Structure 1
């Protein structure tokens, strides 16, 4: 059978993707130490894309090669590629959930797990009953109807992430901005091209482009991040204040927190323990607020929660979650010291007063 692809072209396309990911890893090597869910998702995307860029040209090279070894290798490599493509889409979803601080419901998690299990089961079934793809008598890869099940699953994860993002934007407003198109657009373009055009191999390379856009966006956001806690910093507060000043609705709810006796924590337990307390508190606050707002470290022991809502219920629920999270933290055996805070909620009108004057007013109220 005449080949519908040019192997050197396939090799060049995937080599480009491979080198791009390697360059991204080299320039973001510090992310290898990031143990957060967001960091692990990026690491998984790197690893899956690297393997995919190697296996994709191998699958094309095995196409039409005679012999049983080539037959089984062809089956194995193509099966792995289906799983890799599915996991790349899922890792992007997992990254966005972590980055936007979404709280997924159990049913949502169960549905996601169900689709992952369905994809894995279908690939295993395909080894005995070709429903996704087959390797014919000439050892040539042939798509089957089940191929479109994986198109549905892969795009389903991406569409689900976009829906969640829109929900987050509605709840968090200006506080929840992230250019999701930097990943979604290259991914969709790559899958559409590879699905519709025979002999085109751009899928794994499109993942590499998506990761590059993703990391570029994260790098831009780093100027607004506190190095110690991972919360936003005062530069972000200045930025978001300017953004809100241009909006018609300039009112939001804010919660100010001070750690009780933080100076004595540093003096008694040392600055390392003090740093761990700050990191733990920032994490607890982020979990409490979720997709409805952002946590800002305003000063050494002072945190500021900005929420895109003026309803008393939202602020009271968030305060209750903060208290519950701190209480749970204080019960941990490895907790270096107990945390207690002073909190106050207030309405912030960016059109009438500056953030600094309002915070000074709230600080006096908390004393």
Structure 2
């Protein structure tokens, strides 16, 4: 029986995807060990793409193979592939949420959950009523109109992530830059090819290419990251200062925080506890600022929050969130020691002043 798919083409494309994912995971294992939301999303995306690249050639090989067993295995594996594609798009969305430090509202989360549930439920229904695909009497995969429901859901997650990115860029300006297209282009090309050219199956391999672009971009950003806390470092401050100096709007709001008695914390509780305090404070600051700014570790016990806004309300709300997050942290039972900070905020015009001189003035005022 003539197969719907060209097996050799599908096999080569997916073997390339498998090899690429293995190389990416092996070369980035050191940075993916940290169980941050961002890293968990990357691991999930990589695992799903890897699984898809394995399943794709199998269902291609089974297409048109006679027999009762091959019929039902073909049906099950094709259904799993639909779920893999949908969950991969969702994992990308969650990566963008964590990378851009976006705070999702309850309604937004509910809508996302509803679309995930719809995708899962539709495939269960498809087992009884073929609305998405079916395997005919010759054991060949046949696509139905419901296929486009999954295209809609997958692209919905990607478009949603694009909207969040644009919102974060508007609120954070230069502070929220990310080469969004490096994921979008392979994903869109793979989906279009698979939709227009019946029998072409390259979507999972295109996910692998997208992951490669994302990890390459993150690797480039590592030079601007503090190894201990995950916050940006002083090199990033110098870089972003130069970038703002080229902009028409050179004004930002700067919040400087100094940990009270950090030397005493190290002496009384040990440096491990001190490191834990620094990591916790960095995380608390990132949650408080969200998509409106970035957190920088300026010195051993000093952090900076850069916000692309001169609105007093935005800075006051962020300061209130910082205080609330620290207060909540201090209530935790496993909290090794209380965190208290001194804070000061000022507007920075990169066209007129040096940020280091302004920070030195603020640091002396907080001493």
TM-score between the two structures when normalised by the length of structure 1: 0.99
Change (3 A) 1:353 1:163: same
Tell me whether 1:108 sits opposite 2:101 in the alignment. Answer: no
Quick check: 2:250–2:350 contact (8 Å CA) kept in 1?
A: yes
* Contact 2:169 2:176 (8 Å CA) reproduced: yes
- Secondary structure class of the residue paired with 2:345: strand
Q: State the distance in 1 between where 2:43 and 2:249 align.
A: 39
Q: Which residue of 2 aligns with 1:244?
A: 244
Distance 1:132 1:279 in 2: 47
Q: Deviations over 1:288-319 (max 9, x none)?
A: 00000000000000000000000110110000
Q: Distance in 2 between matches of 1:31 and 1:59?
A: 34
* CA–CA separation in structure 1 for the residues paired with 2:48 and 2:251: 44
Per the TM alignment, residue 26 of structure 1 is displaced from its structure 2 partner at its CA by 0.9
Q: Distance in 2 between matches of 1:59 and 1:3?
A: 11
Q: Secondary structure at the match of 2:230?
A: coil
CA–CA distance in structure 2, aligned partners of residues 313 and 9 of structure 1: 57
Aligned residue for 2:59, secondary structure, equals helix
Deviates more, 1:343-352 or 1:196-205: 196-205
User: For residues 269-288 of structure 1, what are the structure 2 equivalents within 5 Å?
Assistant: 269-288=269-288
3-state SS of paired residue (2:252): strand
Deviation at 1:3, TM superposition (A): 2.8
For the Cα contact (< 8 Å) 2:10–2:201, is it kept in 1? yes
Taking the aligned partners of 2:286 and 2:122, their CA distance within structure 1 comes to: 38
Hey, what does 1:221 align to over in structure 2?
221
Mapped to 1, the partners of 2:294 and 2:320 lie a distance apart of 16
The corresponding residue for 2:234 is: 234
Residue of structure 1 equivalent to 2:148: 148
Report whether the alignment pairs 1:359 with 2:353: no
Q: CA contact under 8 A between 2:4 and 2:63: conserved in structure 1?
A: no
Q: How many angstroms apart in 1 are the aligned matches of 2:318 and 2:140? A: 58
Any unmatched runs of 5+ in structure 2? none
Distance 1:32 1:223, change over 3 A: closer
So what's the TM-score if we normalise by structure 2?
0.99
Q: For residues 111-260 of structure 1, what are the structure 2 equivalents within 5 Å?
A: 111-260=111-260
State the partner residue of 1:266. Answer: 266
* 1:78 corresponding residue in structure 2: 78
What does residue 294 of structure 1 align with?
294
Deviation, 1:365, is 1.4
Consecutive aligned runs of 4 or more in structure 1 exceeding 3 Å deviation: none
Alpha-carbon displacement from aligned partner over 1:172-217 (angstroms, at most 9, x marks no partner): 0000000111111100110100010022121111000000000000
- Deviation at residue 323 of structure 1 after TM alignment: 0.3
Give, in whole Å, the separation in 2 of the partners of 1:290 and 1:278. Answer: 18
The CA distance in 2 between the partners of 1:344 and 1:50, in whole Å, is 48
**Secondary structure of the residue that 1:255 maps to in structure 2?**
strand
Contact (CA 8 Å) 2:257, 2:342: kept in 1 or not? Answer: yes
Shift of residue 32 of structure 1? 4.2
For residue 35 of structure 1, what is the aligned residue in structure 2? 35
Q: Which runs of 5+ in 1 are unaligned?
A: none
SS of equivalent residue, structure 1 residue 342: strand
- Per the alignment, residue 309 of structure 1 pairs with 309
What does residue range 17-36 of structure 1 map to in structure 2 within 5 Å?
17-36=17-36
Partners of 2:344 and 2:25 in 1: how far apart? 43
**Which deviations, in whole Å up to 9, do the C-alpha atoms of 1:323-354 show, x marking residues without a partner?**
00000000000000000000001001101111
Q: Measure how far apart 1:125 and its partner are.
A: 0.6
Listed one character per residue, the Cα deviations across residues 84-128 of structure 1 (whole Å, up to 9, x for unaligned) are 000000000000000000000000000000000000000011001
User: 2:112 aligns to what SS in structure 1?
Assistant: helix
In the alignment of these two chains, the number of paired residues is 367
- Measure, in 2, the Cα distance between the counterparts of 1:246 and 1:57: 51
Match of 2:342 in 1: 342
Q: SS at 1:184's partner residue? A: helix
- Partners of 1:209 and 1:186 lie apart in 2 by 7
Instruction: Give the Cα separation in 1 of the matches to 2:288 and 2:104.
Output: 13
How far apart are residue 154 of structure 1 and its match?
0.3
